[in-house]
Amino acid sequence: MHPKVRKAVFPAAGLGTRFLPATKAQPKEMLPLVDKPLIQYGVEEAIQSSIQNIIIVTGRGKSSIEDHFDVNFEMEHLLESKKKKDLLKLVRDISDMIDVCYVRQKEALGLGHAVLRASELVGREPFAVVLSDDVIDAEIPCLRQLLDIHEFFGASVVALMEVPSEQISAYGVVDAEPVDHNGARDRLFRIRNMVEKPKAGEAPSNLAIIGRYILVPEIFDSINAIPPGAGGEIQLTDALKHLLRNRPIYGYKFEGKRYDAGDKLGFLKATVEFALRRNDLGGPFREYLKTLSL
């Protein structure tokens, strides 16, 4: 058994251009899925996976993220005086949830660069990375599934998902061999190589890396060592490739469903499915959908 991972880094300094104009003056991470900002889903997943410290990498125009996880005295006072106990608890629970600290990425120079900004706060210990626009619905939180693999092997682990060939060029794709783990060979892989956004027909597999990672601290040395890649950005996939030269990296095909909520269509799909599952909204929402002539 390897030591437990305590910290999770949430890169949230990207510009969210796929979601313009909503993201012109508002962080993508604060877009609400039904009634909860995307980043809160990710933070709750981390807490349920027994993470103790959250580090959010923010940038210009992202102060509403800090406000969201802070105390709102005025709101609490108002709800208290109106005896709205349930709402008061809802608001308080967010700021009581966990300790969050922040570090700024002054320029959006890429995901790898954003992760590197957290290196001082992480120190030399393994840590998790959560991209909160990948919302994952799973019985066992996706991050917990990866942490179980990390605690067994003591190595980096990335979340993998099967992607249809016509969409594979949008992802980092792995070349990997299955590993027998607890008698099962269908979910765990040892990664041999990876390619960021391969051209159609050139992808080494149909297994794409999605936004959950457990990383060893040597990844910081790899990020420092690599030049800017695609789009002139410091890419995390390039740093993982560099790390692969002398450290093993595992991929885990997690159990659960992932929604790309940073993309307009993915966000709509997630909104409908999450709303339908809600006890308070699901019934009337389903009835409403049935009235639409689709």
Q: Which of 8, 16, 212, 252 touches ligand UTP (CB under 6 A)?
A: 16
Asked if 233 and 111 count as a contact pair (C-beta separation under 8 A), the reply is yes
Rounded Cα gap, residues 33 and 134, in angstroms? 12
- Based on the shown chain and the rule CB under 6 A, indicate whether residue 210 belongs to the binding site for ligand UTP: no
Mask for 132-151, x = binds ligand UTP (CB under 6 A): xx------------------
- Based on the shown chain and the rule CB under 6 A, indicate whether residue 105 belongs to the binding site for ligand UTP: yes
The least distance separating ligand UTP from the CB of residue 59, rounded to whole angstroms, comes to 7
Q: Which residue is nearest to ligand UTP (CB)?
A: 14
- Based on the shown chain and the rule CB under 6 A, indicate whether residue 108 belongs to the binding site for ligand UTP: yes
Alpha helices in 72-202 (DSSP H): 73-81, 85-96, 111-117, 119-122, 142-153
Taking each helix axis from N to C end, the angle separating 38-48 and 142-153, rounded to the nearest 10 degrees, works out to 40
Please, what's the b/e burial string for 250-286 (b: 16 or more CB within 10 A of its CB; e: otherwise)?
bbbbbeeebbbbbeeebbeebbeebbeeeeeeeeebe
Select the span of 102-110, 188-196, 243-251, 267-275 touching ligand UTP (CB under 6 A).
102-110
Phi, psi values for residue 249, rounded to 5°: -130, 130
Point out which residues pair with 39 in neighbouring strands.
Answer: none
Q: Which of 5, 12, 31, 135 touches ligand UTP (CB under 6 A)?
A: 12
- Based on the shown chain and the rule CB under 6 A, indicate whether residue 14 belongs to the binding site for ligand UTP: yes
Using the minimum distance from each CB to ligand UTP, give the nearer residue, 188 or 226: 226
Q: Which of 42, 55, 79, 110 touches ligand UTP (CB under 6 A)?
A: 110
Rounded Cα gap, residues 106 and 91, in angstroms? 30
- Based on the shown chain and the rule CB under 6 A, indicate whether residue 15 belongs to the binding site for ligand UTP: yes
Rounded Cα gap, residues 14 and 29, in angstroms? 9
Q: Which of 9, 54, 111, 195 touches ligand UTP (CB under 6 A)?
A: 111
- Based on the shown chain and the rule CB under 6 A, indicate whether residue 158 belongs to the binding site for ligand UTP: no
Q: Which two tokens stand for residue 165?
A: 């060939």
Q: How many residues sit in the footprint of ligand UTP (CB under 6 A)?
A: 22
Query: Which positions lie near ligand UTP, rule CB under 6 A?
Result: 11-19, 28, 57, 105, 108-111, 113-114, 131-133, 262
